[in-house]
Homo-oligomer: A and B are copies of this chain.
Amino acid sequence: MSVLANFNIYNRKRHAPGTSPGVPVDKKEAAPLHVDMYVYDEMELLHTKDPQDKDIQTALKQDKKVWLNVVGSSDLKRIEKIAEHAGIHPLGIEDIVNRGQRPKVEEFTDHIIFYLRLPHKQGDSIMLEQIALYYQKGVVITFQEQVEDVFGMIRKRLEKKDGRLRTRGSDYLLYALVDALVDSYFPLFDDISDDIDKLEDLVLKDPNENLLRRVHETKRELLTLKRIVGPQRDSVNAAIRDHASFFSKETVVYLRDCSDHLIRLNDILESLRERAGSLIDMYMNVVSHRMNEIMKLLTLVSTIFMPLGFLAGIYGMNFDRASPYNLPELNYEYGYPILLGIMAAVGLSLLFYFYRKGWLKSTRLSADD
């Protein structure tokens, strides 16, 4: 089975053209909503599950650092309310709730929002789930759809008292979350690379239409990934270049490392795409080559048996043997053995001709594998 099968890249539910911006589009099949609130500084860490609105408002007003992890999408109203409490711009709220955004970074007066994608196994296929990361000095809010715990590692690190996540500013937490998202692409790409390796072997061994379908599917999946990975790289670069004022100098060094990983991801993706593209050529080449082999066999058989059949046909004619000019060979005592000899000679010399041309070898070879 192909690694990727179903991408929910850009959702198709959209506003009717002309409706007011900032009004979220209605959605179905949503995962139930959970909120985790972490209020922390170097000393303390307070974890509240599904806090009330007023808890959130209080926390946001405090001097401590806050991370709100909003998971699920069943209750859009509540998500919007949390976003409004945090003072997110209406356009921002719209994009958080309508989860089909192109990866981007948007700056509003006092806050910045990253819209990224997390590759996400769902049964046999992989979803590219949108994760929105809101950052304002002291506050990080993450919005994700699936319940699966992608930030588990970071929760654990947050609990360590002396960890950098506790001692440094919220922007370091933001970096840690973005980095976790980015690094989750590497194993995915490794899988696809293995897949292409396998396809290359199969194309050379046994090109068939089913395989062709898989090759084109892989090509298309990489095309989809390109539409996500490229903008993701541009976004993080833009964050460093254009919105550096949001981050401390130290965190910028870390973000640059993260941008580095994204460039590497893009490199790998480009070479995967090039390899997938050359699979098509390879398929074509192999099929043409097989055709050659098939035709050689046909030509060999025809070239040998057509003249022989013609000879046999000659001596099957019913000319009146009363005339000494009509098929006198039929009356020779050794007519038949001589003809057989001639036939063997013709057949063998044709075989030798094909042997000299190297046809026998290659047809035999292709029969072996």
Say yes or no: is A313 at the interface (Cβ < 8 Å to chain B): yes
The answer to whether A292 touches B291 (Cβ under 8 A) is: yes
Which residues of A (217-264) have their CB < 8 Å from a CB of B? 219-220, 223-224, 226-227, 231, 253-254, 257, 260, 263-264
Question: A253 to B94, alpha carbons, bound, how many Å?
Answer: 14
Question: A226 to B268, alpha carbons, bound, how many Å?
Answer: 11
Interface of A is mostly: helix
Which residues of A (311-369) have their CB < 8 Å from a CB of B? 312-321, 323, 325-327, 330-337, 339, 353, 356-358, 362, 366-367
**Partner pick for A153 among B17, B223, B263, B310, CB 8 A cutoff:** B17
Known: A286-B212, A295-B295, A310-B305. A183 touches B17 (CB 8 A): yes
Scoring A190, A220, A274, A327 by chain B CB atoms within 10 A of each residue's CB, the highest score goes to A327
Chain B residue numbers with a CB within 8 Å of A150 are: 17
The answer to whether B190 touches A12 (Cβ under 8 A) is: yes
The answer to whether B303 touches A306 (Cβ under 8 A) is: no
Number of chain A residues close to chain B: CB under 8 A = 119
Say yes or no: is A307 at the interface (Cβ < 8 Å to chain B): yes
The answer to whether B336 touches A152 (Cβ under 8 A) is: no
Say yes or no: is A157 at the interface (Cβ < 8 Å to chain B): yes
Which residues of A (155-176) have their CB < 8 Å from a CB of B? 157, 163-164, 176
Chain B residue numbers with a CB within 8 Å of A216 are: 200, 278, 282
**Partner pick for A313 among B153, B316, B332, CB 8 A cutoff:** B316
Question: A275 to B314, alpha carbons, bound, how many Å?
Answer: 55
The answer to whether B288 touches A284 (Cβ under 8 A) is: yes
Q: Mark A21-55, 1 if CB is under 8 A from B, else 0.
A: 10000000000000000000000000000000000
Task: Name the residue on B nearest A290 (C-beta).
Answer: B292
7 contacting pairs across A/B (C-beta < 8 A):
A10-B268, A17-B182, A91-B254, A102-B260, A108-B253, A220-B275, A326-B336
